[in-house]
Amino acid sequence: MEWSGAMRSLSAVIGSTTARGLMCSVLLLALSGAQAQKERDSMALKISSAAFGPNENIPSKYTCEGTDLSPPLAWTGAPAGVKSLALIVDDPDAPDPRAPKMTWVHWVLYNLPAQANGLPEAVQKKDLPAGTREGLNDWKRTGYGGPCPPIGRHRYFFKLYALSDVLPDLANPTKAQLEKAMQGHILVQAELIGTYEKKQR
């Protein structure tokens, strides 16, 4: 009886030690996984604006009710192998967010150089990074056209694409033409969403 009792005690100690070891291993794996995810997140492509945060109101100076300037934009985390960047700004809530019928395109840029890390406020064609080409917005012109929603609060998607190639000259493409040209070349993309509703008269 004494021998069997000692064996049971020893087994309990070994069992608890093994359990503790397994728990430590699981905890270490979880921590290393969290750290790896944190590192991946820190290296992910991100686009932001000093003028408004994610899902925040876009100041009126950047809209048709203000001076219609393009907002300042910045980005980080372009991956290895990126050769160029593209930017599309559009509104999927046109004309009425309660019954959207189309996506209205506000800005199209492509072949931004890979080393570019943003665009200043009120950027003009002459100020764009060397090599950058413009596309057509839905006003059938190049350049930025700010939010001008006819009714309700709309969402505006600032979409940045990191591409594995420099695209050929597409001669002022539409959003659809640029998206077609980018197929198979997108390494990663990021987006910033701002909102806007016209002031009540």
| Range 144-158 average pLDDT | 98
Query: What is the secondary structure of the chain as a DSSP string?
Result: -HHHHHHHHHHHHHHHHHHHHHHHHHHHHHHHHHHHHHHHHHHS-EEE-SS--TTEEPPGGGSTTTT-PPPPEEEE-PPTT--EEEEEEEEEEES-TTS--EEEEEEEEEEEETT--EE-TT--GGGSPTT-EE---TTSSSS------SSSPEEEEEEEEEESSPPP--SS--HHHHHHHHTTTEEEEEEEEEEE-PPP-
Question: How would residue 22 be classed by pLDDT, with cut points 50, 70 and 90?
Answer: low
Give pLDDT, residue 9: 52
Give domain 46-196's CATH architecture.
Alpha-Beta Complex (3.90)
| Range 151-178 average pLDDT | 98
58-87 pLDDT, tens digit per residue, is: 999 999 999 999 999 999 999 999 999 999
List the chain domain ranges: 1-43, 46-196
pTM for the whole structure: 0.80
44-56 pLDDT, tens digit per residue, is: 999 999 999 999 9
